[in-house]
Structure 1
Amino acid sequence: METFLSETIRTLAKGAYPLLDYTLILPSKRAGGFLNQVLIAQTEKTYFAPTIYSIEDFISQVSGVEIMNTTQVLLEGYKVYNELTPTSFSDYLLWAEPLLNDFNEIDRNLVSPESFFGYLSQIKALERWELKEATPLIKDYLKFWEGLLPFYNAFSQHLLNQGAAYQGLVYRRASEDLSHYLNANGDKPHAFIGFNALNPAEELLIQEMLAQGNSRIFWDLDEFFAQDQNHSVSQFIRGYYERWPYYKAQLFDGKNQSAKYSGITSNHYEKPKNFYFVESDSDQGQIQAMSAVLNDMPLEKINKTAVVLADESLLIPVLYTIPESINSINITMGYPLKAYPGVWFVESLLQWQKTGNKRIHHNHLHKILTHPFGQLLLPSWQNISRWIQKNHQLFIDIDDIIGQVCASERAVIELMFSHKTGEQNMIKNLMSLLDGLSEHKSLSAVDRIGIQKLLDLLQQLYGLARSYGFLAHIGAITALFDHLLSSESLDFEGDAYRGLQIMGVLETRVLDFEHIIMLSVNEGVIPQGKSSASFITYDMKKEFGLPLHTDKDAIYGYHFFRLLQRAQSVSFIYKNSQKGLSVGEPSRFLRLLELTAPETHHIV
């Protein structure tokens, strides 16, 4: 099987420009790593490699502005907002994240902020039109919406003055300053590889680069999907092909319908393939089914196999079920740090510190002591538990706990429960506890990675608390800790280009595998469905041309079917049981796969 990246490099190598002259832009950094491996495999002599960027790094290069991480954006946003409208950091966190995401959305889609926020404030005012007299609460409500444009303008300028901004603002700046980049680099050939759904800023930039006459774009789209006008897989690329001036000369002239998309498509999907639909009654059943498929697979096929997790929370149980015969594994995706059990231990101690009490409820204390981390830190934890049961105390004084442990463990109790050290030292105390834990030889590999990640996060929190004065109290620190947890993940090491690959759906972009095992292929998981973490209503998205949930479904459809184009065998595993919001229904993509499958596909 020749992969999409291999086909692309082979085509570029036959072109008018040497490969080393190109600047290659891909959807992700991981894709760039795989492209480097293709370059190594296709050459027999030493030469300088072309410049390779992820799209984010390229946009940053064009704009001259660095992309700031989400935590810095959140904190810088509070500094600006608090100057305009004094508010507590905890109150700010209640609404800031979705609002900043909306800023990101309108900027990378090049929406006029004046028009957008004016429209939004008018909608909010109309919602209250029937009130004869506005109460102070309603006045504050309307004032909040009217203040968004001044906040956006002040915040944008504040970030740009620092030379770093959130992703959307960097995209907007790149589209505005593109002429500077073209003046300096317009004579150098560029190639854009493996894109699908582009935002308006990316569209503008790529079209301007193509207009220079020395740049190219490579789509990974099969003709089978391109010819189907109703298939969402080709929705975006067909639109570019029919709308961009770059393709005007190649458009269908009415004589040869089959050749309409021949210049931008490949022909792999209709080759013989085996698709296996595997039904399971639980997550554990899915994982066991995956293990059975891997057990039946010859070892020589493992290097050409990917396990794709539509539900990324299954990563840890999947790792424990990989057959022992498979020695080489690479995990591309990260495991959400918030789902790591060790996080509860740190959160519990932070919540205790937040109370400021001198006495702790026996249930809370018991849970801390019986946590695996508590047992490792306090080997005599059972003595404390027996003492609590014997004395029938509802609330326990910390000094009484110290009296029940040996001298070597008293320092640990102080680090856990003392209120005397102040907020920043409290973070250092937690770091000392985790440092002590990391020295235990009985820790599993996952625990070692988890503890190190928590240490890194607390170190980051400590640095932020010193840099931002408004983080000087425990409430702000715990709120920020929760925010950091939601955006961090455990990253596992492995050989990125060899062995069994385990990844999420988005990590599969531009990559190809002969054999695929996909788990949780259920409706509501892939595609994910609607997301409501936004202040932008559906009507506003329609009005300003912002992506709708149907567009996001089409993006997932592209990732799903693109992955099948060059595959030879694919096992789809899904749950049939209903639990909570899960309806136990196979993904609509499986239904579509069955309905549109060519005769060369064998579905079991």
Structure 2
Amino acid sequence: MTTTFLGRAAAEVFQSAKDLSDLQKLHIVLPSRRAALYFGRELASLSAIPFFAPKISSIDDFIQETSGLQLIKSVDLYFEIYKEWKQLDGSLTLEHFLTWVPTLVKDLNLIDSSLLDDTKGLFTYLDQADALKRWGINAENNVVTDFAGSYFSFFKKMGLVYHTLRERLAAKGVGYSGLLYRTAAEKAIDKEWKEDFYFIGLNALSTAEEVIIKHLVHIGKAKCIWDTDDYYMESKDKAGRKLRKYKSSRLFGKEWYFQESLLQGTEKHIQVYKLGSQVLQNKLAMDLVRKSSSSSHAVVILDEMDLPSIYTLVPGLDMKINISGGMSLKSSELMAAINLLLDISDQEKLRLEDLRMLMEQPLIRELVKGEVEWTKLERLAYKSTRLFYEREDLKMSQGSLWDEIVGMTEVGSFVRGVERILKTVEALEWNEKPFAQLVLKELPSVKRHLDVSKPAFRLLFQEFLKGLSLPFEKEPNAKVQIMSMLETRCLDFDEVTFLSFVEGKLPTANKSNSFLPFDAILEFKLPTYSDQDAIMAYHFYRLLQRAEKVNILYVQQGGSGVGRQEKSRFIYQIEEELCRDPKVDGKIKFSTTEINLGDLVKPKEITIPKTDEILEKAKDYFTNRGLSATALSEYFTSPLAFYWKYLEGIRENNMDEATIGANVFGTLIHYALEKADLPYVGKSITKEDLEAQKLWVIKNFDQLIQECKPEFDFSYGLNAVLKKVALDLLIKYYHMRIRTYTEPFTIVALEKKFRKILDIGGIKLKVEGAIDKLEKHGDTLVIIDYKTGKVEDVTYTHNPEVSFTEELKERKRDKFRQLLLYFFLIHSEEVPDAKYGFYSFRALNDRIDMEVKGLSKEELLSGIQGLIEEMVLEVLDKEKPFSAIEGRKVYENSTFSNLLN
């Protein structure tokens, strides 16, 4: 690899010293503490004998030291600003203020780090009279709308607060970042400097930094070492915008160190990967790391949302990796618990779903399960469907952590409860312990400000948590470094892998995120978002300078239109401008590859061998419990699901929900119809009877649903809506029956069960089915089944070239199989000819009847019996395991889809 920038800079500093003792008189300033650490290592490697090192600082540490001020904590700064603003606007609430104060602080930092002298001029420029004149608005009689007046008044207050805030903070010896930079610049001019300085690897300087460095260079106390390349220094490329200005001004030194021709003068392989999913991107990135033979490799994270998933993949690499920054608190289980508690603290009563979320939250569950009667809580949460609970009703044991948690309603009780949780976690050897210690350490800054409203505290607490992260144990010698773009400053790597290389991430989205209008920013020569783009462009190209291999990954899923992420424009610039420049002469190899999930992920086969124990369970099921139409369909949809559900008894979670599901909805429909029909069983039904049934259901529907599902509350929310939908469907059903009525008919039976015993494979197989309703129309028996779901494919035309039994195995034939099984059971009872069909509440136009063409009754009976025999013999065949292939479409909505992962 080409000599690193810090290696070359260290050699320059080392060689400039007349003897080793001179080095300790120097002060080296670099962009970051990370760069300072690596520079120190490079400098130490240049001498065979020990020597006293120079002082090495990051630019932020240097500025703070020079200013003599301490950086104020964000929460404390917000309250300092609020005190000042409140004096000007007594109606301002803290909760409203906290929604916009972070943007205000950013503007204050911009104004001060840019050393804007005419701050009064800026706020005058923004005030009402000057703005109206500038915008050419005719404000005759000084009439201004309330909205406009409020807008301009904001800037007037902002100017007043700005000036009084600076004095207030300075008197306390603290300041926000911009104020530290302004103060440092003001003190630097008059300070008697004893040290000699090297400013190394800086690029886009703030005005405050420019003033300080220019002054030190002018008085002969500083030298600058830059990391630049011919590609952007000898062109109009945005990446070199400020650096070209610095160089031509000669105010940072008459000589310019260093400028090389590395981007186009050294061999590189740039590989661009277009990927179909985020999961695929993370997997590919780790595969590239694992297979890399480079001596140093940087994985650059452009989107912080990628970090949690990357963290989970790192342990699987089984190699030393250094992760910069730290793990954000928001990725921890502790944060999830605190957010949940914050969400429910606003509610006077607890909803059922909140109680369940509390009990199912892993950290809270582990903390309180041993101190309360958990089974009693489970009964409250899962055996009842009350929508709301009084908090007092949920308290279990006086003084317990659980009681404190359900009692979190006010700001004070919330903080006390959170602090108790943190201290409890801190006392345990859990993975969350370091996070708890981190929050406890910083919590006093929040506890100083508890005299606020609940909405304001919520905003304040969320802002407080947002900035907390747990630093990783450092592995500075690891060959793989995972970091953000800014953390790569001054560092060089043989191989670089970029993740999420899309517009909006690099370059960042063009959002000013400022209260200052763009015309004011231009008028007063403050930095714009274009300057930020130039900074990121420099960091990108500088990172490419000494890299031999570059991997660029981005996700672009199918489709088009608003919201679709496009690959970064830098990819086009590399390919069209950098790689195709005649100066390159084939030194840079550029290629693109598109990879979809199917290219890397292969389906895995899941099989369960049939042991003697499993075969005994199968025989018991067939002979004692019996084969139903649903079980038959389940087997030909998924033999594995049949095994789990019917032989092992693994069912869907039967926990009651506060909101009814499709199964409960269907049950309500069936129950109402059955109750309405019961008095008429065995009787001849007239059109008037159907009208009477409809009116009876309407009158008694509330009582019917309470009889059917007394545990549900149908007074609120979605339950109330579904209740209305169910009644409307029942009314439509009766209207349809009345409309299609032709002659009296008889209700023969309701929920009639049929059964047949078959000798198959040495066992007595019980086949059974329950039919919702049997009606007699003249001499024809009509078999009725109600469906609240969709019904299709109950007609069949025989194709001699296709086996009837094989056709019956198709998933789409499940409803047809059900009716055919009824036909098989009823025919065995020597029932006269019958019609078989459904009433579907998805399409209440008419009955949906089974129709078969091309097969006799005997062939139908033979076909369904053959299907049953084939299924039973397969299940009892020890040599055929239960199996499934992961990813098959038929499992997408399966109860057991989670077991296939």
TM-score by length of 2: 0.60
C-alpha distance in 1 between matches for 2:147 and 2:296? 61
Verify the 8 A CA contact 2:521 2:528 in the aligned structure 1.
yes
Deviations 1:100-128 (A, max 9, x none): 21111011111221111111114655678
Aligned partner of residue 277 in structure 1, secondary structure: strand
Q: Does 1:602 align with 2:583?
A: no
Corresponding residue to 2:67 among 46, 49, 63: 63
Superposition deviation, residue 419 in structure 1? 5.0
Aligned partner of residue 228 in structure 2, secondary structure: coil
Q: In the alignment, what sits opposite 1:367? A: 357
C-alpha distance in 1 between matches for 2:407 and 2:112? 46
Superposition deviation, residue 83 in structure 1? 3.1
Q: Does 1:551 align with 2:536?
A: no
C-alpha distance in 2 between matches for 1:542 and 1:139? 23
What amino acid does structure 2 have at the position aligned with 1:376?
E
Q: Does 1:320 align with 2:330?
A: no
Aligned partner of residue 493 in structure 1, secondary structure: coil
Superposition deviation, residue 340 in structure 1? 4.1
Q: How does 1:218-297 map to 2 (within 5 A)?
A: 218-227=225-234, 229-247=235-253, 263-269=257-263, 270-297=265-292
C-alpha distance in 2 between matches for 1:384 and 1:312? 39
Structure 1 pair 387/296, CA: closer, same or farther in 2 (3 Å)?
Answer: same
Corresponding residue to 1:417 among 386, 395, 406: 406
Verify the 8 A CA contact 1:313 1:335 in the aligned structure 2.
no
C-alpha distance in 2 between matches for 1:137 and 1:293? 56
Q: How many residues align?
A: 570
Verify the 8 A CA contact 1:369 1:381 in the aligned structure 2.
no
Aligned partner of residue 551 in structure 2, secondary structure: strand
What amino acid does structure 2 have at the position aligned with 1:453?
L
Q: In the alignment, what sits opposite 1:561? A: 541
Q: In the alignment, what sits opposite 1:204? A: 211
Q: In the alignment, what sits opposite 1:505? A: 485
What amino acid does structure 2 have at the position aligned with 1:279?
K
Structure 1 pair 7/212, CA: closer, same or farther in 2 (3 Å)?
Answer: same
Superposition deviation, residue 513 in structure 1? 1.0
C-alpha distance in 2 between matches for 1:143 and 1:323? 55
Q: In the alignment, what sits opposite 1:583? A: 564
Q: Does 1:158 align with 2:161?
A: no
Deviations 1:391-412 (A, max 9, x none): 3211112233234xxx5x9702
Q: In the alignment, what sits opposite 2:87? A: 83
C-alpha distance in 2 between matches for 1:320 and 1:430? 27
What amino acid does structure 2 have at the position aligned with 1:585?
E
Verify the 8 A CA contact 2:26 2:197 in the aligned structure 1.
yes
Corresponding residue to 2:121 among 107, 110, 115: 115
Q: In the alignment, what sits opposite 1:257? A: none
Structure 1 pair 166/129, CA: closer, same or farther in 2 (3 Å)?
Answer: farther
Superposition deviation, residue 49 in structure 1? 1.0
Q: In the alignment, what sits opposite 1:145? A: 155
Verify the 8 A CA contact 2:308 2:331 in the aligned structure 1.
no
Q: In the alignment, what sits opposite 1:453? A: 438
Unaligned runs of 5+ in 2: 592-901
Q: In the alignment, what sits opposite 1:494? A: 474
What amino acid does structure 2 have at the position aligned with 1:91?
H
C-alpha distance in 1 between matches for 2:552 and 2:375? 47
Structure number with the higher strand fraction is 2
Aligned partner of residue 14 in structure 1, secondary structure: helix
Verify the 8 A CA contact 1:307 1:502 in the aligned structure 2.
yes
Verify the 8 A CA contact 2:213 2:222 in the aligned structure 1.
no
Aligned partner of residue 276 in structure 1, secondary structure: strand
Corresponding residue to 1:19 among 17, 23, 27: 23
Verify the 8 A CA contact 2:217 2:251 in the aligned structure 1.
no
Q: In the alignment, what sits opposite 1:51? A: 55
Structure 1 pair 432/419, CA: closer, same or farther in 2 (3 Å)?
Answer: closer
Superposition deviation, residue 306 in structure 1? 1.4
Aligned partner of residue 345 in structure 2, secondary structure: helix
C-alpha distance in 1 between matches for 2:358 and 2:364? 6
Unaligned runs of 5+ in 1: 251-260
Q: In the alignment, what sits opposite 2:415? A: 427
C-alpha distance in 2 between matches for 1:138 and 1:145? 11
Deviations 1:5-63 (A, max 9, x none): 11001011111553222111111122111222222222222211101121122122222
Structure possessing the higher relative contact order (Cα contacts under 8 Å, 6 or more residues apart): 1
Verify the 8 A CA contact 1:233 1:554 in the aligned structure 2.
yes
C-alpha distance in 1 between matches for 2:269 and 2:29? 33
What amino acid does structure 1 have at the position aligned with 2:336?
W
Superposition deviation, residue 325 in structure 1? 4.7
What amino acid does structure 1 have at the position aligned with 2:506?
I
Structure 1 pair 381/280, CA: closer, same or farther in 2 (3 Å)?
Answer: farther
Q: Does 1:484 align with 2:464?
A: yes
Verify the 8 A CA contact 1:294 1:323 in the aligned structure 2.
no
Aligned partner of residue 159 in structure 2, secondary structure: helix
Structure 1 pair 381/218, CA: closer, same or farther in 2 (3 Å)?
Answer: farther
Q: In the alignment, what sits opposite 2:631? A: none
What amino acid does structure 2 have at the position aligned with 1:561?
Y
Q: How does 1:533-544 map to 2 (within 5 A)?
A: 533-544=513-524
Superposition deviation, residue 196 in structure 1? 0.8
C-alpha distance in 1 between matches for 2:101 and 2:35? 32
Structure number with the higher helix fraction is 1
Q: Does 1:398 align with 2:402?
A: no
| Range moving further from structure 2, 380-389 or 15-24 | 380-389
Q: In the alignment, what sits opposite 2:107? A: 102
C-alpha distance in 1 between matches for 2:269 and 2:375? 57
Verify the 8 A CA contact 2:107 2:516 in the aligned structure 1.
yes
C-alpha distance in 2 between matches for 1:144 and 1:400? 48
What amino acid does structure 1 have at the position aligned with 2:389?
I
Corresponding residue to 2:551 among 550, 571, 577: 571
C-alpha distance in 2 between matches for 1:246 and 1:399? 70
Q: In the alignment, what sits opposite 2:8? A: 7
C-alpha distance in 2 between matches for 1:323 and 1:222? 37
Aligned partner of residue 562 in structure 1, secondary structure: helix
Structure 1 pair 477/266, CA: closer, same or farther in 2 (3 Å)?
Answer: same
| Range moving further from structure 2, 103-112 or 319-328 | 319-328
- Larger gyration radius, structure 1 or structure 2: 2
Structure 1 pair 26/530, CA: closer, same or farther in 2 (3 Å)?
Answer: same
Structure 1 pair 322/413, CA: closer, same or farther in 2 (3 Å)?
Answer: closer
What amino acid does structure 2 have at the position aligned with 1:391?
S
Structure 1 pair 143/316, CA: closer, same or farther in 2 (3 Å)?
Answer: closer
C-alpha distance in 2 between matches for 1:474 and 1:351? 11
Superposition deviation, residue 364 in structure 1? 1.8
Report the aligned-residue RMSD: 2.6
Verify the 8 A CA contact 1:306 1:517 in the aligned structure 2.
yes
TM-score by length of 1: 0.87
Aligned partner of residue 118 in structure 1, secondary structure: helix
| Range moving further from structure 2, 142-151 or 217-226 | 142-151
Superposition deviation, residue 459 in structure 1? 4.4
Q: In the alignment, what sits opposite 2:381? A: 388
Verify the 8 A CA contact 2:502 2:567 in the aligned structure 1.
yes
